[in-house]
Amino acid sequence: MRPDEREVAGLTCAQVMHALSDYAEGDAPAELRAQIEAHVAGCRQCEQFGAAFAALLAGMRRQLAAPDVVDDDVVARVRRALIASAS
């Protein structure tokens, strides 16, 4: 365990980091979710990291949900250019 690692609620910081994406996606089992929440509540380091991670994830979701900015005409022209360069 690294010197800045802590064990809170039966999880180390590394275990929390490892489980964080499952937690954020809602894939973590209820027992693990409760442990992560208890760890983050008692560990300032993971609390800060968790907040940054959640913000990053929310930003990525917004990007993915954004409408397609490339219109069909551009796609058609790129496709023609690719076909022309391949032949």
Q: Which spans of this chain sit near Zn ion (rule: CB under 5 A)?
A: 13, 43, 45-46
Measured distance CA(59)–CA(65) in Å, rounded: 10
CB atoms within 10 A of CB 11: 21
Q: Least distance from C-beta 44 to Zn ion, angstroms?
A: 8
Q: Least distance from C-beta 11 to Zn ion, angstroms?
A: 8
> Nearer to Zn ion by C-beta: 8 or 57?
8
CB atoms within 10 A of CB 13: 20
> Nearer to Zn ion by C-beta: 18 or 79?
18
